[in-house]
Amino acid sequence: MRALWGIVLLLPGCTNNPYSEADDARKILYTSYREAPRTLDPAVAYTTSAHAITGEVYETLLEYHYLKRPYVLIPGLADRLPVQEPLDADWTRYRFELRQDLLYQADPCFSLDEEGRVTREVVTADIAFELMRLADPAVNSPVAEPMSNIRGFADFSRRLVEARDADADFGARPIVEQYAAVGPIEGVRTEGRYGLEVDVSSRYPQILYWFAMPFTAPVPWEAVAYYDGEEGRPRFADHPVGSGPYVLKEYDKHARIILEANPNWYGVRHPEWRAPGAIYPETGEPGDLEAGRLDPALVGQPLPFIERVEFRREKEAIPYFNKFLQGYYDAAGIIKESFDKVIHEGGLSEEMEATGIALEKSVEPSVFYIGFNMEDPVVGASGGEASRRLRQAMSLVVDTEEYTRLFSNGRGVPAQSPLPPGLYGYDPDYRNPFREADVERARQLIDEAGYPGGIDPATGEPLRLTFDTADTSAQGRLRFEFFTRAWRQLGIDVAIEATNYNQFQEKVRNGAYQIFMWGWIADYPDPENFLFLLWSEMARSKGGGPNTANFSNPRYDALYLSMKSRPNDAARLAEIEEMRGILEYERPWIELTHSEAYSLYHGWLSRVKPFGMSVPMTKYRDLDPQLRARQRAAWNEPILWPLYVAGALAVLLLVPAVFTFLRERQ
C-alpha cells in the first residue's frame, strides 16, 4: 500500500526533458547528428559533420571574419595576415609569425614529451609536421593535390615512399622520426619557434584559404604517436588534440558527442590581446546592425559565449524536428513534411513567429547544374555549330524557378553562371540569355541545329539522347523527368539511365555518357574554386578531375591561368566576365541553382549568421538559458490526468484485495 501511494505522489514530477535539470542554467548548445564522422583526423576529415568537430577543436593560422561578405580572411593563430614576397615568376613566399604563449588543450599524450606533462606550447614545427602528414601517402589526405603547390611537397612524398620500400624497419619507426629522416619539405621552413615560411607556386595564391581550414592546423606529434589504438587508447582519428576554442570531452558515436570550452584557448588565456578571432567583431556588412548582430553590449567582448556543445544522435528527421519545436534543440533545418506549415510566402508562418522562432536564409557557395559530355559526338564539341545550338536550345527550355518550386519548396537562387553570390566576380544583375525560359527561341535553335521539330534526319525519328544518373529513387526519377519533359517540347527524346553510384562512375570513367547532373560546394570562397571545374586540365577523361563535362577551350584555359593568380582587381574581374561569356555561348552546362538554406533558431539563441561553408562559428553565438528553461516548461507541461486516473483505478482495485488479504490473515 505504501509503494502504491508513493507512485501516485511521484506523478507531478514526471517530465519528458531529455537533459539534466542541473544544466538548465548553463550556456549549452544542443544540436544533433545523424551518423558520426568516419574520422576526426584533421588531415583526412572532409565532411560537414567532421568539420563541425575538428573546426572547433583545431585552431588555424587564419580564419574568416564572422560577419563580412564577401568572405574576408583574418589572423587566427598567426599574429597578422602573412607577408607575401614574390621570389621569381614561378614562386611566392608567405611569411607567418605565430602568436607566442599558445597552448594545446590538456591531454595525457604530452607525457611522451615529459613525464607528468599535460600540455605544451604550440610552435611552427607543429604546422610543418602537419604539412608533412598531408604529403604522406599513408595518411591519404584528400587535399594532397592543392597542397602540391608547395615547393618540394611531392618530392617529400616520393622520398618517404622510397625510404619505406627500401627498409621495412624504417616504416616501423615513430612517424616523427620518419619525417625527420626524409624531411623537411623544401618549401616549408621554420624560423625559431614562431616563424614559418612557405614557398608556393605563384599560380596558386588560393593556398591561403587552406590555412584557414583544419587540414593545416598545428598538430602535436605526441597525439599522433600516443593515440594508436593500443592498450585501451583510442585511435588518433577518434581523439583529436588541438588548440581551438573547444575540447572533445565525450565521443560516443552511437549516442552523443560533447564539446566543452577549452580553458587553454588563447582567447581565454589572453583576452588582453583582443585578437580578431577571439573577440566578437566590431564591424559587419549592411543589415547586421538591424539584425542585432552588432549589439554594442557584445561588440568587442571576449569569446566564446557558449560553454558546451552537446550533439545527440537523431537517425530520423521528423523526431529531430519535433524535439526542436519542443525546445530541446536550439536550431533546425526545415523538414519537407512541415515546410508549408512553417513557411508562408517566403517567411515564417504566424504560428511559428508567435513562438519566438527566427528564420535565417543563406545562399551557400555552391552550384548545381546539368552537364554535357563535350567529347560525345552528338552533344559535344566535335559536332561544331550544330551541337552548340542543340545545347543552347536545351538550356532555354529548363525553367529553374519551376524546378525549385516543385522539388525544393522554392529554395535556391537560379544560377546564371558557375559563380554563386558572396564570391568575387558574382554579378547580381547579370542574366544569362540562355537561362531565361524561351520555348519559341529554343525551337528555332533546334531547327538551326539540323533537327527540325526535334527529328534526327539520320533516322527520321526524334533525336534520342541519354541522361545518366546515380539516383535510382522514385523521387529522383520525378526530378529527372522534369527535365526530359522540358526537352520533349523540342521534339527530342531523352531517356533516363539510372544506375547505382559505382555503375554511374564506371560510365563516366569510360566516357559512355551524354548528359548528367552534378553539383559543387566550395572548398574556399574564391572564383577559382568554381571556374577550375571547366579548365581542360581538370577534365575527367584526362585524369579523373572534376571537369566532368570534359570542356576544353583554349581561350578559357588561358584566361583561367591568368585569373587564378591575380588579386581581386579590375583586370581579374574583366577576365572572369570574359570566361563567363565563353560559357554562356558554348553551354557545356545548364546552370540550375545555388542552394539556399532555411534555418530556424529559437529566440534564446542570438548573434546567429549562417556561414554557408563548412566552417563552424559556435564561438560567436550566444544564448539565454533562463529564457530557454521558461519556454521549455511552458511548451512541455506534462498531461497528468491520465496518470491520476490510472492511479485512482489502481487504488480502487487494490484496496478490496488488501482488506480480503488482511481478513484471511486474521
207-238 pLDDT, tens digit per residue, is 999 999 999 999 999 999 999 999 999 999 99
How many other C-beta atoms are found inside a 10 Å radius of the C-beta of residue 424? 17
The three cell numbers locating residue 585: 555561348
7 - beta bridge partners? none
> Taking all residues of the chain, what is their mean pLDDT, rounded to a whole number?
92
What pLDDT band is residue 509 in, cutting at 50, 70 and 90? Answer: confident
* Helix H or strand E encompassing 28: strand 28-33
Please state the rounded mean pLDDT for residues 521-533. 94
Burial tier of 516 (Cβ tally within 10 Å: 0-12, 13-18, 19+):
buried
Please state which of the ranges 8-22, 291-305, 548-562, 571-585 shows the lowest mean pLDDT: 8-22
In angstroms, the Cα distances linking 100 to 194, 214, 267, 649 are 7, 20, 13, 71
pLDDT above 60 (res 403)? yes
Beta carbons of 108 and 17 less than 8 angstroms apart:
no
pLDDT above 70 (res 382)? yes
175-209 pLDDT, tens digit per residue, is 999 999 999 999 999 999 999 999 999 989 999 99
Q: Report pLDDT for 5.
A: 37
Higher pLDDT, 637 or 630: 630
Beta carbons of 261 and 92 less than 8 angstroms apart:
no
Q: Report pLDDT for 653.
A: 54
Please state the rounded mean pLDDT for residues 383-391. 97
* Helix H or strand E encompassing 83: strand 83-86
Rounded Cα gap, residues 215 and 133, in angstroms:
10
The closest of 61, 55, 36 to 234, measured between CA atoms, is 36
Please state the rounded mean pLDDT for residues 42-56. 95
Rounded Cα gap, residues 202 and 292, in angstroms:
41
Give the DSSP per-residue string, 268-336: HH-GGG--GGGB--S---TTTTTTTTT-TTTTTPBSP---EEEEEE-SSHHHHHHHHHTTSSSEEE--G
Q: Report pLDDT for 631.
A: 95
What pLDDT band is residue 346 in, cutting at 50, 70 and 90? Answer: confident
pLDDT above 60 (res 41)? yes
Please state which of the ranges 14-23, 140-149, 206-215, 501-510 shows the lowest mean pLDDT: 14-23
8-23 pLDDT, tens digit per residue, is 334 444 567 899 999 9
Q: At a CB cut-off of 8 Å and minimum separation 6, what does 336 contact?
A: 409
Looking only at the bridges linking them, the beta strands covering 343-344 and 83-86 are unpaired
* Helix H or strand E encompassing 92: strand 91-97
The fraction of the chain above a pLDDT of 90, given in percent, is: 82
Looking only at the bridges linking them, the beta strands covering 455-456 and 596-601 are unpaired
What pLDDT band is residue 88 in, cutting at 50, 70 and 90? Answer: very high
Rounded Cα gap, residues 22 and 20, in angstroms:
5
What is the total residue count of the chain? 666
The three cell numbers locating residue 170: 624504417
Q: In degrees rounded to 5, what are phi and psi of residue 231? A: 50, 40
Our separate counts of H helices and E strands in the chain read 24, 25
Higher pLDDT, 28 or 658: 28
pLDDT above 70 (res 450)? yes
Rounded Cα gap, residues 373 and 538, in angstroms:
14
DSSP state of 419: P
The b/e string for 648-664 (b: 16+ C-beta within 10 A; e otherwise) is eeeeeeeeeeeeeeeee
Q: Report pLDDT for 430.
A: 97
244-303 pLDDT, tens digit per residue, is 999 999 999 999 999 999 999 999 999 999 999 999 999 999 999 999 999 999 999 999
What pLDDT band is residue 4 in, cutting at 50, 70 and 90? Answer: very low
pLDDT above 80 (res 490)? yes
Beta carbons of 373 and 467 less than 8 angstroms apart:
no
Looking only at the bridges linking them, the beta strands covering 455-456 and 461-462 are antiparallel
Q: Report pLDDT for 365.
A: 92
pTM for the predicted model, two decimal places: 0.85
Please state the rounded mean pLDDT for residues 533-560. 93
The closest of 108, 99, 117, 115 to 269, measured between CA atoms, is 99
The b/e string for 119-158 (b: 16+ C-beta within 10 A; e otherwise) is bbebbbbbbbbbbbbbbbeebebebbebbbbbbbbbebbe
- Quote the distance between the C-alpha of residue 4 and its chain's center: 54
Rounded Cα gap, residues 331 and 610, in angstroms:
11
